[in-house]
């Protein structure tokens, strides 16, 4: 997976020194440098950087890593602020920028200030560690990004700037972000520039996510927004460029480094703070834009450098929020910090869920206490639960505003208890679940419709079954409301060719148009590409447009010379839409075949007529039917024509026409390639065996006592009959004479109950015994037992010995004979062929 770089494109609460509940302090003196191009850096005024410089201009005690395309290591406005970095793309080279993006980012953070040259960074002096993790075209894999972050953490960086991102959640990146947080490293990332959902890694709970703001103090329309955004910074900058030059750049890629630099300024003022406290301080000091508090467009507001370095960090920036009417807005997908002043202090918050779903709350408290949580969702539903630190609780939410009241479960607790609260949103399970497999497909009504679905779990895939009751046209489109989806559309008519559509990338729609569909069940599957197989906070819309207007796809075929050529075994559909309409089809047989022509789905009240002609248009046969026509015929190789007509026109439903042909081998359609083919052909040529009326031999079908007896009678030319009287056999039975002759020869006999059971299958042992008696073999031979699954006590062991010794029978590869297994027609004929050689 590629990352899009131009998104311009530890101990808990170990120290709280310097953190108080206090008032904002005014800053009245503004400092400025002598850099000649600083007049082009309007964004510095927007974030009040000059006022901040009066308090602090630099931080050369911590390292800021820029994981990007590298940095221009010789840029005169950057070189003094660079420390050794690494090239993860090519370890033999320095992290020299070969794209320009990383150099742009570095200039925003720390172009040397007051050096009478070029521009000034937000930090006049700093330690910038260039980490080249992206290719020269600005793309790269998440593995290199994760490696870059870990390198920064392991080599002493306290801040990592990530002006890059991708739309998919990644377990690897999630673990890497956690690693940075555990090592007290602040990650600052751009939200992205597509006017869509916040990209990863900005979207992770412990990453400071920075969007872009216009000069009019509103979120840029292109800046990605959503429940993970923390704050915004100016979209447009003037910054350092490759080759020692300068240029205008824009995007959230340029907003993120502003926040990182301000974080470094704040850290120089409060070196005792942890990374999560610096993150919270930037939220606390942001200049609110729009509605009070946090919102999904600009987060906590505009980055304010002056306030970040002058205001005291608060233990709880959300106070006062002791009443519902004082509830403060928070994100449902971030980690924040607040505090209970004691057991009697209630904290009210609200959040706006973009969809129905679940909000998970996880608490981390500085004391061994539990939290009582009361929740009221958008519908007014109320729940109450007690949260144990470190154990998530799930709150079911409806789309819209929910309120939560948090308070220590121990109301008598007298000390202040700071806490971390991590929120996470999980989208609802859609109404069509469980439909993750084709056999579980949700059956939709047979009409045009639009429906909404979600991917609420790992590897979620949604199957739908759409029944087409009448032929027509079908168009299907699936679209997403978030770039975190990369949709794949799969459509298949049951038993036919499947269509997979994946033409567009993140957030793009996929569509398929089938101008002619025929009755049957169509399966539709909506999924994400494999790499996006995680739960996604977003919805897709599946639109199905089903037009049942009928048309004949084979026209014009009103004359024999216009006949539609059909493929054998393929269904064709048509209409008789005029009184004089005729539909002609033609097919070709390469060899003699058993041919079956079927005409079905004839409309109620209509009679259709079918005529078959040979290649010279001489009639072969005619037939008609009101419901269906099925005609089987043995045909020689050649071209054939079929003419269809009807007693009345119809245009609201389609008939189905299909020609099936099975090549004949020795007059049989089902023995070609069979292991017993030669034996069957030999016995058939001698008229010892025959098949069935439909030109099949059915070699793998079990052979009955009557069939076996008749075959042996023909094979051994039995002529003398014996008077027989079996309770289940009359003189009208087709095999009566053969059974009487075989009984006279002693080949066959009935059962003690005086039945013969002519239609009962025979076993392999019975087959062998019948063959032996036909050859006058008595089975008196002695010797070793010939097969592993019989012994000396078996009733037919003597016959098996003698037949095996004569080479007339053989067993299976494992040495068994399976005497009680039912014999097939093929086995019988093969043994008989060996005997008659």
Q: Which residues contact 783 (CB under 8 A, 6 or more apart)?
A: 801, 805
Element (H, E) at 349: strand 347-353
Give yes or no for a cis peptide into 517 (omega within 30° of 0). Answer: no
Q: Give the Cβ contact number of residue 31 at 10 Å.
A: 16
DSSP string covering 202-220: TTSTTEEEEEEE-TTSSB-
CA angle 538, 541, 542 (to 5 degrees): 140
Q: Give dist(CA 46, CA 259) in Å, integer.
A: 13
Q: Give dist(CA 346, CA 357) in Å, integer.
A: 25
Look up tokens 């093969």; give the residue: 830
Which of 240, 340, 175, 202 is CA-nearest to residue 40? 240
Q: Give dist(CA 295, CA 284) in Å, integer.
A: 14
The answer to whether 446 touches 468, Cβ cutoff 8 Å, is: yes
The answer to whether 329 touches 293, Cβ cutoff 8 Å, is: yes
The count of residues in the chain is 837
Q: Give dist(CA 218, CA 222) in Å, integer.
A: 11
HEC string of 368-413 equals: CCCEEEEEECCCCCEEEEEECCCCCEEEEECCEEEEEEEEECCCCC
Give yes or no for a cis peptide into 556 (omega within 30° of 0). Answer: yes
The answer to whether 594 touches 669, Cβ cutoff 8 Å, is: yes
Q: Give dist(CA 589, CA 567) in Å, integer.
A: 10
What is the three-class DSSP state of 777?
A: coil
DSSP string covering 628-644: -EEEEEEE-SEEEEEEE
What is the three-class DSSP state of 529?
A: coil
Q: Give the Cβ contact number of residue 621 at 10 Å.
A: 11
Provide the token pair at 600. Answer: 């079905």
Q: Give the Cβ contact number of residue 358 at 10 Å.
A: 18
**What is the pairing mode between strands 442-443 and 328-329?**
unpaired
The answer to whether 747 touches 775, Cβ cutoff 8 Å, is: no
The answer to whether 763 touches 819, Cβ cutoff 8 Å, is: yes
Q: What are phi and psi of 11, to 5 degrees?
A: -75, 140
68 counts as catalytic: yes
Which one from 68, 98, 306, 506 is the annotated catalytic residue? Answer: 68
Rg (CA), the chain: 42
616: exposed, middle or buried (C-beta count within 10 Å: 0-12, 13-18, 19+)? exposed
Q: Which residues contact 395 (CB under 8 A, 6 or more apart)?
A: 358, 359, 360, 361, 373, 375, 377, 383, 385, 402, 404
Element (H, E) at 797: helix 797-805
Q: Give dist(CA 123, CA 108) in Å, integer.
A: 8
Which one from 170, 253, 310, 682 is the annotated catalytic residue? Answer: 253
Provide the token pair at 192. Answer: 């992205």
Q: Give the Cβ contact number of residue 216 at 10 Å.
A: 6
Sign of the C-alpha dihedral computed for residues 315, 319, 323 and 329 taken in this order: negative
The answer to whether 193 touches 213, Cβ cutoff 8 Å, is: no
Q: Give dist(CA 25, CA 286) in Å, integer.
A: 14
Sign of the C-alpha dihedral computed for residues 280, 284, 288 and 290 taken in this order: positive
Active site residues: 68, 101, 253
């Amino acid at each position: 997976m590629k990352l899009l770089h131009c998104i311009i494109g530890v101990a808990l609460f170990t120290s709280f020194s310097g953190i108080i509940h206090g008032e904002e302090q005014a800053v009245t003196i503004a400092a400025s440098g002598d850099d000649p191009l600083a007049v082009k850096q309007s964004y510095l005024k927007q974030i009040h950087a000059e006022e901040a410089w009066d308090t602090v201009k630099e931080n050369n005690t911590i390292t800021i890593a820029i994981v990007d395309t590298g940095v221009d290591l010789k840029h005169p406005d950057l070189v003094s602020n660079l420390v050794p970095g690494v090239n993860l793309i090519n370890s033999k080279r320095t992290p020299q920028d070969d794209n320009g993006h990383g150099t742009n980012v570095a200039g925003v953070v720390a172009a040397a200030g007051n050096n009478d040259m070029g521009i000034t960074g937000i930090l006049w002096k700093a330690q910038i560690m260039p980490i080249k993790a992206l290719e020269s075209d600005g793309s790269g894999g998440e593995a290199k990004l994760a490696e870059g972050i870990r390198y920064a953490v392991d080599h002493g960086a306290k801040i990592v700037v990530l002006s890059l991102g991708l739309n998919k959640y990644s377990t690897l990146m999630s673990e890497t972000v956690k690693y940075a947080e555990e090592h007290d490293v602040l990650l600052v990332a751009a939200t992205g520039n597509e006017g869509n959902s916040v990209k990863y890694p900005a979207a992770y709970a412990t990453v400071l996510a920075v969007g872009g703001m216009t000069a009019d103090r509103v979120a840029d329309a292109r800046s990605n927004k959503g429940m993970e955004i923390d704050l915004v910074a100016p979209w447009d900058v003037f910054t350092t460029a490759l080759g020692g030059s300068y240029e205008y750049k824009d995007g959230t890629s340029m907003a993120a480094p502003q926040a990182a630099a301000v974080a470094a300024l704040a850290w120089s003022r409060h070196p005792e703070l942890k990374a999560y406290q610096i993150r919270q301080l930037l939220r606390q000091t942001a200049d609110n834009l729009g509605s009070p508090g946090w919102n999904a467009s600009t987060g906590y507001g505009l980055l304010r450098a002056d306030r970040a370095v002058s205001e005291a960090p608060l233990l709880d920036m959300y106070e006062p929020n002791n009443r519902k009417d004082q509830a403060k807005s928070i994100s449902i997908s971030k980690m924040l910090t607040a505090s209970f002043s004691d057991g009697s202090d209630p904290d009210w918050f609200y959040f706006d869920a973009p969809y129905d779903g679940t909000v998970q709350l996880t608490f981390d408290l500085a004391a061994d206490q539990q939290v009582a949580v009361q929740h009221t969702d958008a519908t007014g539903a109320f729940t109450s639960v007690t949260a144990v630190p470190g154990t998530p609780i799930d709150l079911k939410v409806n789309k819209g505003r929910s309120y939560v009241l948090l308070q220590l479960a121990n109301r008598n607790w007298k000390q202040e208890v700071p806490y971390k609260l991590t929120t996470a949103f999980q989208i609802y399970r859609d109404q069509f679940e469980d439909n993750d497999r084709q056999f579980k497909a949700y059956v939709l009504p047979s009409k045009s419709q639009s429906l909404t679905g979600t991917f609420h779990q790992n590897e979620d895939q949604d199957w739908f079954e759409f029944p087409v009751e009448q032929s027509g046209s079908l168009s299907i489109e699936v679209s997403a409301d978030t770039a975190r989806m990369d949709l794949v559309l799969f459509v298949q008519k049951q038993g036919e060719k499947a269509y997979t559509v994946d033409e567009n990338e993140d957030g793009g729609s996929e569509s398929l148009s089938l101008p002619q569909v025929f009755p049957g069940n169509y399966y539709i599957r909506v999924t994400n590409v494999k790499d996006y197989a995680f739960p996604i906070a977003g919805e897709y819309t599946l639109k199905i447009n089903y037009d049942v207007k009928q048309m004949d796809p084979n026209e014009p075929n009103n004359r024999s010379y216009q006949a539609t050529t059909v493929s054998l075994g393929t269904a064709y559909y048509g209409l008789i839409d005029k009184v004089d309409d005729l539909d002609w089809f033609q097919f070709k047989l390469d060899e003699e075949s058993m041919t079956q022509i079927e005409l079905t789905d004839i409309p109620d009240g209509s009679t259709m007529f079918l005529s078959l002609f040979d290649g010279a248009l001489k009639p072969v046969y005619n037939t008609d039917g009101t419901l269906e026509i099925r005609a089987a015929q043995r045909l020689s190789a050649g071209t054939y024509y079929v003419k269809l007509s009807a007693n009345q026109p119809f245009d609201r439903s389609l008939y189905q026409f299909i020609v099936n042909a099975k090549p004949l081998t020795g007059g049989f359609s089902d023995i070609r390639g069979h292991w017993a083919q030669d034996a069957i052909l030999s016995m058939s040529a001698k008229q010892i065996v025959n098949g069935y009326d439909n030109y099949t031999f059915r070699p793998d079908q079990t052979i009955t006592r009557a069939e076996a007896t008749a075959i042996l009678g023909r094979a051994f030319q039995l002529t003398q009959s014996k008077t027989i009287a079996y309770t289940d056999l009359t003189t009208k039975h087709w095999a009566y004479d053969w059974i009487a002759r075989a009984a006279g020869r002693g080949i066959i006999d009935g059962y003690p109950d005086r039945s013969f059971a002519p239609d009962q299958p025979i076993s392999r042992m019975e087959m062998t015994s019948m063959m032996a008696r036909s050859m006058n073999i008595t089975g008196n031979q002695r010797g070793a037992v010939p097969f592993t699954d019989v012994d000396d006590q078996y009733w037919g062991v003597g016959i098996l010995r003698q037949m095996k010794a004569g080479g007339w029978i053989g067993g299976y590869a494992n040495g068994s004979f399976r005497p009680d297994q039912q014999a097939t027609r093929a086995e019988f004929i093969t043994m008989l062929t060996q005997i008659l050689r």
